[in-house]
Amino acid sequence: MEKERVWLEINLDNLLNNLLIIRKLVKNKKILLAIKADAYGLGAVEIAQFLENKIDMFGVASIDEGIILRKKADVKIPILILSPVPYQAIPYLFEYDLIPNVSDEHFLKKLIAYAKNNNKRLKIHIEIDTGMGRTGFWAKDFKKIWQIIANENFLEVEGIFSHFPVADSDLLFSQKQLKEFLRLISDLNLNKKVLHIANSSGILNLPQSHLNMVRPGLVIYGILPEDIKNEEIKKLIKPVISLKSKIVSLKYFGKNMSISYGRTYFTSQPTLIGIIACGYGDGYPYQLSNRGEVLVKSKRAPIVGTVCMDLTMINLNNIPNVTIGEIVTLIGKDGKEEITVNELAFWANTIPYEIITRLSPRVPRVYLKNGKIWKIRKNN
């Protein structure tokens, strides 16, 4: 990456390793890979092309994301839209063979009317809110909704699902959700439908929630939720991404000199400052100002001053022989040291999901396969 100022490396071998680990863990259950938000920032088209024949279904957030997979990645397997679909977009569901999440009675009736008027059939998944507190039919209303759908010839209920909000932190609440979900399924004799509730945390913490399909996302991308008790899984899941940049300038500062916008940092002694070609314009969090660390020559270097749009400053006093052009690791391993996405999220007072999905399109995605560059995606 000679001319790149910052880039994201995606290790496809580790990605496949993680998928196979989860496949083994859930045994013969189907796997829906959450590939929404551009595969959590890793690149939906590229990830879909690499994994399609190893996945049962992809999960996206919108019609547009589904169309991109159909047209640009030439995906043939089922695609489930996990978020509600705007009424005006209903025709595209049929045109691109996309499965909608049905979580609202008005949408359901609009969908039925369109299907009948155009003499077309469509598979759907129904969402039940068992405690997520977001989209989905309330459990108490589900029987009424099922009566509307049960005898409907133009819609095929392929699946029914719910969602865990705290499977990483409150197993009692999650178990209560699962119990309610299974009671509704049993009451209406729907056990042969595709049933799914387990996200990454559910897969790892609640094996009984695997049902007949699971919905991993973060864990496949090499990031473990914080409260995972399975020590074996922790050892087996491999990191997938590395965010790297370069030192583009070296500058000596005397004692008591300020660095960067706002003058939030003053040197306490003569200091060698390295300037990295990465900033919040690349999605690197501003909240890391005077707080985060990076890796240079297999050692940790603290961020000093405020993170800028395109540049970040680091203290190099404890790292000898640094030169301009030196590779800097912002996420990933360098020697025995590693900065994880979870660690970066802690420094930035956010969650790992936001860290990776906020990475700017101007950051090239470099896909590595068998230790070599397989593909590079650039959006600028």
CB–CB of 15/258 below 8 Å? no
Give residue 225's pLDDT.
82
Name the pTM for this structure.
0.94
Q: How many helices (H) and strands (E) does the chain have?
A: 12, 21
d(CA 212, CA 27): 10
Residue from 30, 36, 246, 297 carrying the catalytic annotation: 36
* Residue 134 is assigned to a ligand binding site: yes
**Maximum CA extent, the chain:** 79
d(CA 153, CA 68): 29
d(CA 34, CA 61): 9
Give domain limits for the chain. 13-220, 241-339
d(CA 338, CA 346): 14
Strands (E) across 42-119 are located at 57-60, 79-81, 99-102
CB–CB of 26/210 below 8 Å? yes
Q: Could you state, in chain order, the average pLDDT of each consecutive group of 10 residues for the chain (380 residues)?
A: 90 98 96 98 97 96 98 97 97 98 96 96 97 95 91 93 94 97 96 97 95 97 83 90 98 98 97 98 98 98 98 97 97 97 97 96 96 89
Residue from 87, 252, 261, 286 carrying the catalytic annotation: 261
- Position of tokens 């660690």? 343
3-class DSSP assignment, residue 342: helix
Give residue 152's pLDDT.
87
The CATH number corresponding to 13-220 among 3.50.50.60, 3.40.50.1000, 3.40.50.300, 3.20.20.10 equals 3.20.20.10
The Cα angle at residue 165 between residues 162 and 170, in degrees rounded to 5: 120
Classify domain 241-339 at the CATH topology level. Answer: Lyase, Ornithine Decarboxylase; Chain A, domain 1 (2.40.37)
- Catalytic (active site) residue 353: no
* AA letter at 158: E
Give residue 93's pLDDT.
98
CB–CB of 122/115 below 8 Å? yes
- Catalytic (active site) residue 252: no
Element spanning 20, H or E: helix 12-26
241-339: same fold as 13-220? no
Give residue 380's pLDDT.
55
3-class DSSP assignment, residue 100: strand
Quickly list DSSP for 269-336: S-EEEEEES--GGGT--GGGTTT-EEEETTEEEEB-S---SS-EEEE-TTS-S--TT-EEEEEEEETT
d(CA 79, CA 81): 7
